[in-house]
Amino acid sequence: MLQESHVVTISRFLIDEERKYPEAKGAFTGLLSDIALAAKVIGREVNKAGLVDILGGAGQENVHGEYQQKLDVFADQVMYRALDHTGLVACMASEEHEHFIPIPEKFPAGDYVVLFDPLDGSSNIDLNVSIGTIFSIHRKCTDGERGTLEDCLQPGCRQVASGYVLYGSSTMLVYTSGTGVHGFTLDPSIGEFILSHPDMRIPNPPKKVYSVNEAYFTRWSEEQQKLVSHLKNEGGFGSRYIGSMVADVHRTLLQGGLFMYPPERSRPDGKLRLLYEAAPMAFIIEQAGGRASTGTQNIRDIQPTELHQRVPIYLGSRELVELAEEMLANTSPMSSS
Ligand code: AHM
Ligand code: MG
């Protein structure tokens, strides 16, 4: 029984954190709590996906021309509805929507801008493989009462928080607000996220693992090919690739290693999106002592020019990202020809 008193719920953790900032008015705590609630609702549907008629496509393409899975649409709505009415959010943007999402006039708007990929790794939904939600939080930077596109197009270094939810063998919420990375595991018996991984740090030395879709080897630059060949031949690295960014990044956070989604001849900017995937994960990884780069530039320094911009990504253990940057230094820019 005594042990129960050591259980720290996410609400308690957020309140304790808030107390460190006497000027805080509880808005950020409220926002994170709303996201945690959305995560529980999405997690519940993900867990029962095999049981109900929710598997399979929703019959429409999203803005990237990808076939939307039903759970993508559901998760997108859950995130939106958890945040639209609270008076905490200035505007939102979702990987599933072409344009930024204003707060309806009937609700008050707040100071925070929330960008999210509601269900990342969606090609894995039907396969019972881990998937996740990724979120990025900025403060509104324009003067108007409500958020605008400009508020969404802020570089990752201006994030006030970011995080992800992993729907895996257990559901985990991992976030940073710039003072370390903290992980919470959902206890389904009480419906609460419990602090299970305080102050997460990428281990040093890291596990010798690289994570990349190697089926694309022939589409890469010669330098990228040499990097991967070097890691496995001279470096003695093993390979792990789940194909769900949240799961691959989570493993990288816990064990160390190098996660990559490199540029390809037909996709010079790679596949992953700056605002919904790369920047929020970069914040987490940096706060855990790692590094995140495009191969030539710190991901969090990029000034976004459009909502759905893509960037090459190399993230994980600092020394491995630096090795990648060194080996890629003389790559000529990829063109789609
Ligand atoms: P999605 O947002 O459409 O789900 O795509 C993103 C996912 C990432 O989770 C993962 O890292 C990547 O796509 C896998 O792509 P690929 O199948 O090309 O290896
Ligand atoms: Mg997605």
Looking up residue 65, the CATH number of its domain turns out to be 3.30.540.10
| Residue 108 CA, ligand 1 centroid: distance in Å | 35
Residue-level pLDDT, tens digit, the chain, 337 residues: 445 568 999 999 999 999 988 787 889 999 999 999 999 999 999 988 766 565 556 666 767 666 556 889 999 999 999 999 999 999 999 999 999 999 999 999 999 999 999 999 988 888 889 999 999 999 999 999 999 999 999 999 999 999 999 999 999 999 999 999 999 999 999 999 999 999 999 999 999 999 999 999 999 999 999 999 999 999 999 999 999 999 999 999 999 999 999 999 999 999 999 999 999 999 999 999 999 999 999 999 999 999 999 999 999 999 999 999 999 998 877 765 4
Cα 23 to averaged position of ligand 1 atoms, centre (Å): 40
Q: Which DSSP category does 67 fall into?
A: E
Residues in contact with ligand 1 by the CB-under-6-Å rule are: 66, 95, 117, 120-122, 213, 243-245, 248, 271
Residues 180 and 232 in one domain: no
Split into its structural domains, the chain has a count of 2
- Asked if 24 and 52 sit in the same domain, the reply is yes
Three-state DSSP string of 170-202: CEEEEEECCCCEEEEEEECCCCEEEEEECCCCC
Range of the domain at 192: 10-197
Token reading at 285: 């990884």
CA 256–ligand 2 middle distance (angstroms):
24
Two tokens, residue 334: 């990829």
Q: Name the DSSP letter for residue 276.
A: I
Q: Indicate whether 5 belongs to any domain.
A: no
Closest atom of ligand 1 to CA, residue 241: 19
Are residues 193 and 237 part of one domain? no
Q: Give the per-residue pLDDT at 2.
A: 47
Tell me the residue length of the chain: 337
Atom of ligand 1 at shortest distance to CA of 117? 2
Instruction: Name the phi and psi angles at 21, rounded to 5.
Output: -120, 95
- Residue 243 included in any domain: yes
Q: In what order do the strands lie in the sheet with 101-102?
A: 101-102, 89-94, 112-120, 131-139, 161-167, 171-176, 181-187, 192-197
